[in-house]
């Protein structure tokens, strides 16, 4: 995954629970805002905050580590004043994964364009 051209390696276990995913992204965004221009929270602090928000224990360490990477990415873009829609992008980038195997067919509405914008006459 990329946040502002920085690559982050995430464990796919973060995609096993849509509620966890959304809650964790909220925690990442809020904590990034709170720690902006200060020392980042440690992985242990981040993990405890996520556990409190989720009201559950028992998440694998790789899940905490992956969401912690997202938190650091959000924090970095906020400090560079390049934040605006990164949470939205990350949240919606992976939403289709949570819908896998739930539909037999997908019907799309292609973008519309004017005939005059087609450069290739054969098209």
Per-residue model confidence as pLDDT tens digits over 21-55: 999 999 999 999 999 999 999 999 999 999 998 87
Model pLDDT, residue 101 = 79
Give the contacts of 96 (CB within 8 A, at least 6 positions apart): none
Within-domain flag for 122: no
Q: What is the mean pLDDT of residues 101-120?
A: 72
Residue 27's domain comprises 2-117
Longest dimension (CA), the chain: 61
Q: Is residue 59 part of a domain?
A: yes
Q: What is the pLDDT of residue 108?
A: 77
Q: What six digits make up the tokens of 54?
A: 């989720």
Whether 68 is in a domain gets the answer: yes
Domain contains 8: yes
Q: Is residue 49 situated within a structural domain?
A: yes
Is residue 72 over pLDDT 90?
A: yes
How many distinct structural domains can be found in the chain?
1
| 91/100 Cα distance (integer angstroms) | 16
- Tokens describing residue 9: 């390696």
- Check whether 115 has a pLDDT greater than 70: no
């Amino acid at each position: 995954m990329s946040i502002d051209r920085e690559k982050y390696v995430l464990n796919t276990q973060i995609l096993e629970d849509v509620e966890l995913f959304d809650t964790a992204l909220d925690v990442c965004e809020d904590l990034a805002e709170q720690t902006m221009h200060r020392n980042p929270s440690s992985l242990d602090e981040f993990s405890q905050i996520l556990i409190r928000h989720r009201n559950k224990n028992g998440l694998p360490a790789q899940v905490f580590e992956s969401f912690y990477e997202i938190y650091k990415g959000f924090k970095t873009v906020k400090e560079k004043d390049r934040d605006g829609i990164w949470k939205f992008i990350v949240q919606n980038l992976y939403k289709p994964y949570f819908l896998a195997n739930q539909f037999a067919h997908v019907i799309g509405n292609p973008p519309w364009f004017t005939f005059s914008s087609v450069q290739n006459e054969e098209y």
